[in-house]
Amino acid sequence: MRTQVAIIGGGPSGLLLSQLLMRAGIETVVLERQTRDYVLGRIRAGVLERGAVELLHRAGCGDRLGDESIAHEGCNLSTVNGMFRVDFQARVGESVTVYGQTEVTHDLYAAQDALGATIIHEAHNVALHDLEGGAPWVSYEKDGQTHRIDCDFVAGCDGFHGISRQSIPGDKRTEYERVYPFGWLGVLSRTAPAADELIYANHPRGFALASMRNPTLSRYYIQVPLSDTVEQWSDQAFWDELRRRLPASVADSMQTGPSIEKSIAPLRSFVVEPLRWGRLFLVGDAAHIVPPTGAKGLNLAASDVHYLFETLRAAILDADAAALDQYSTRALTRIWGAMRFSWWMTSILHRFPDQSDFDQKIQEAELRQLETMESAQVTMARNYTGLPY
Domain of residue 307 covers 5-71+96-177+268-345
Domain annotation covers residue 83: no
Q: What pLDDT, on the 0 to 100 scale, is given for residue 283?
A: 98
Whether 118 and 225 share a structural domain: no
Number of folded domains that form the chain: 2
Same domain, 172 and 186: no
Share of the chain above pLDDT 70, in %: 100
Separation of alpha carbons 104 and 87, rounded Å: 26
* ∠ CA 138-144-149, rounded to 5°: 20
Q: Is the predicted pLDDT of residue 45 greater than 80, yes or no? A: no
Share of the chain above pLDDT 90, in %: 96
Residue 340 has pLDDT above 80, yes or no: yes
pLDDT class of 37 with cuts at 50, 70, 90: very high
* 373 φ, ψ (degrees, to nearest 5): -110, 120
Report which residue type is found at 145. Answer: Q
User: Does position 44 have pLDDT exceeding 80, yes or no?
Assistant: no
CATH number of 171's domain = 3.50.50.60
Q: What is the pLDDT of residues 120-172, one digit of tens each?
A: 999 999 999 999 988 999 999 999 999 999 999 999 999 999 999 999 999 99
Q: Are residues 59 and 166 in the same domain?
A: yes
Within this chain, do residues 109 and 38 fall inside the same structural domain, yes or no? Answer: yes
- pLDDT reading at 349 higher than 80: yes
State yes or no: pLDDT of 43 exceeds 80.
Answer: no
Q: Is the pLDDT of residue 20 over 90?
A: yes
- Give domain status of residue 254, yes or no: yes
Residue among 72, 203, 288, 306 flagged as catalytic: 72
285, part of any domain:
yes
CATH of the domain at 364: 3.30.9.10
- Which strand ranges, in their side-by-side order, compose the sheet holding 96-98? 47-48, 96-98, 70-72
H-helix or E-strand spanning residue 90: helix 88-92
- Domain shared by 255 and 109, yes or no: no
Q: Considering the domain boundaries, does residue 293 fall inside one?
A: yes
Distance of CA 56 to the CA centre of its chain: 15
269 pLDDT tier (thresholds 50, 70, 90): very high
pLDDT at 365: 94
Assigned domain for 245 exists = yes
> Residue 327 pLDDT > 90, yes or no?
yes
Q: Do 250 and 305 lie in a common domain?
A: no
Query: On the CB side of 268, how many CA atoms lie within 13 Å of its CA?
Result: 14
Can you spell out the DSSP letters for 173-199?
-EEEEEEEEEEEEEEEESS--SSSS-E
The chain-wide mean pLDDT, for the chain, equals 96
* Annotation says 72 is catalytic: yes
166 lies in the same domain as 272: yes
Q: pLDDT tier at 213 (50, 70, 90 boundaries)? A: confident
Residue 35 lies in a domain: yes
Say whether 296 is catalytic. Answer: yes
The one catalytic residue in 140, 180, 221, 384 is 384
Tell me: do 281 and 171 sit in the same domain: yes
Active site residue 258: no
pLDDT band with cut points at 50, 70 and 90 for residue 41: confident
CA distance 199 to 370: 15
The per-residue pLDDT for 270 is 98
In a domain, 82, yes or no: no
Same domain, yes or no, for 134 and 244?
Answer: no
What's the confidence (pLDDT) of residue 16? 98
Single out the residue of 224, 302, 240, 229 nearest to residue 47, CA to CA: 302
Q: Which listed residue (99, 180, 200, 327) is catalytic?
A: 200
296, 307, 327, 350: which one is catalytic?
Answer: 296
Question: For residue 196, what pLDDT is reported?
Answer: 94
| In a shared domain, residues 318 and 221 | no
Same domain as 185, residue 67: no
**pLDDT reading at 116 higher than 90:** yes
Average pLDDT on 320-326 reads 94
Residue 85 lies in a domain: no
Report, as an integer, the average pLDDT of 176-185: 97
Q: Is the pTM of this model over 0.85?
A: yes
> 292, 306, 327, 350: which one is catalytic?
292
Q: Are residues 156 and 65 in the same domain?
A: yes
